[in-house]
Structure 1
Amino acid sequence: LADCPKGWPQFGDLCFSFNPEPVTWITAASFCHTLGARLVEITSKEKQDWIAQQMKAKPF
């Protein structure tokens, strides 16, 4: 399993960071790249549901 940075929730073997600021796709992708990360790809209903739950749980 992944060893996620502090504050990054984990789903399976992936770590996630959520940013409340609205930005363009290019800006978001560039920011992720600076962190050694990439934008999420929704590849399953389970991942989609988990992300939706995380978005509701965080006070953005």
Structure 2
Amino acid sequence: MAGGRPKKDQDKKCVRQNITMEPDQLERLIVYCQREERPLSWVIRKALEKYLDEAA
């Protein structure tokens, strides 16, 4: 049996996208991610999810 994480269904895969932010936002984001031991993509997805839930 191969190790690693199980493959996601094709329709459940995350989509790669480039974004632009202010340099100070990136610096704050990196510090937060290091402190919380989370990847940037995870933090951005969670923040976007919260924003969209509140904006609806």
Short-chain TM bin: 0.3 to 0.5
In the superposition, the TM-score normalised over structure 1's length comes to: 0.32
Question: Greater strand share, 1 or 2?
Answer: 1
In the superposition, the TM-score normalised over structure 2's length comes to: 0.34
Question: Greater helix share, 1 or 2?
Answer: 2
Larger Rg: 2
* More contact order relative to length (CA 8 Å, sep ≥ 6): 1
